[in-house]
A and B are shown apart, each in its own frame.
Chain A
Amino acid sequence: MSTIHVKGLTKSFGGNDVLKGIDLDVADGEVVCVIGPSGSGKSTLLRCLNKLEEISGGSVVIDDFDLTDPKVDLNQVRQRIGMVFQHFNLFPHMSAIENIMLAPVELKKQTKAEARQSALQLLTRVGLEEKADARPASLSGGQKQRVAIARSLAMNPGIMLFDEATSALDPEMVGEVLQVIKDLAREGMTMVVVTHEMGFAREVSDRVVFMADGVICEEGTPEQIFSHPEQPRLQDFLAKVL
Chain B
Amino acid sequence: MHKPRPSRLTRIVPAAIAAVAALSLFGGVAAAAASPADASHETAGGALAAAASTPPPADVKGKTFTIGTDTTFAPFEFRSGGDLKGIDMDLIRSIAKLEGFSVNIKSLGFDAALQALQSNQVDGVIAGMSITDERKQIFDFSDPYFDSGIQMAVAKSNNDITSYKDLKGKTVAVKRGSEGEAFANSIKNKYHFTVKPLDQSATMYDDVKAGNSVAVFDDYPVLAYGIRQNNGLKAVTAKERGSSYGFAVNKGQNQELLAAFNTGLAELKANGQYQKILDRYLKAPDEAAPNSSFFALLANSFPALMKGLGLTMLATVLSLIFALIIGIVFGFFKVGSSLVLRGIATTYVAIFRGTPLLVQAFFFYFGLPQLTGVPIDVLTAGILTLSLNAGAYMTEIIRGGIQSIDPGQLEAARSLGLGYVTSMRRVVIPQAVKVMTPTFINQFVITLKDTSLLAVIGFAELTYQGQQIYASNFRTGETLLIVAALYFIVIMLLTQLSNLLDRKFNK
Residues of A within 8 A of B (CB): 50, 52, 75-79, 81-83, 85, 87, 89-93, 102-103, 106-107, 148, 151-152, 154-155
Contacts and interface: CB of A to CB of B under 8 A. Distances in A.
A75 B431 CA distance: 23
A106 B415 CA distance: 14
A194 to B, nearest CB: 15
Contacts of B431: 91-93
Closest 6 interchain pairs by CB? Answer: A79-B417, A89-B412, A103-B416, A78-B417, A89-B408, A83-B415
Contact of A89 (B409, B418, B434): B409
27 contacts: A52-B411, A52-B414, A75-B417, A78-B414, A78-B415, A78-B417, A79-B416, A81-B415, A82-B415, A83-B415, A85-B408, A85-B411, A87-B408, A89-B406, A90-B412, A91-B427, A102-B413, A103-B416, A106-B422, A106-B426, A107-B418, A148-B412, A151-B416, A152-B415, A154-B416, A155-B416, A155-B417
B430 interface: yes
Contacts of A83: 412, 415
Given A91-B427, A93-B430, A93-B434, A103 B417 contact: yes
Interface string B400-438: 000000101101111111110010001100110010000
Contacts of A102: 413, 416, 418, 426-427
B411 A152 contact: no
B410 to A, nearest CB: 9
Contact of A107 (B408, B414, B417, B427): B417
Q: Is the interface of B mostly helix, strand, loop or mixed?
A: helix
Given A87-B408, A89-B408, A106-B426, A52 B416 contact: no
B139 to A, nearest CB: 73
Contacts of B408: 85, 87, 89
A78 B416 contact: yes
B408 to A, nearest CB: 4
Contacts of B409: 89, 91
The residue in A91, A151, A155 that gathers the most chain B C-beta atoms within 10 A of its C-beta is A91
Nearest to A107: B417
B411 A89 contact: yes
Nearest to A92: B431
Nearest to B433: A93
Contacts of A77: 417
A103 B418 contact: yes
A152 B409 CA distance: 13
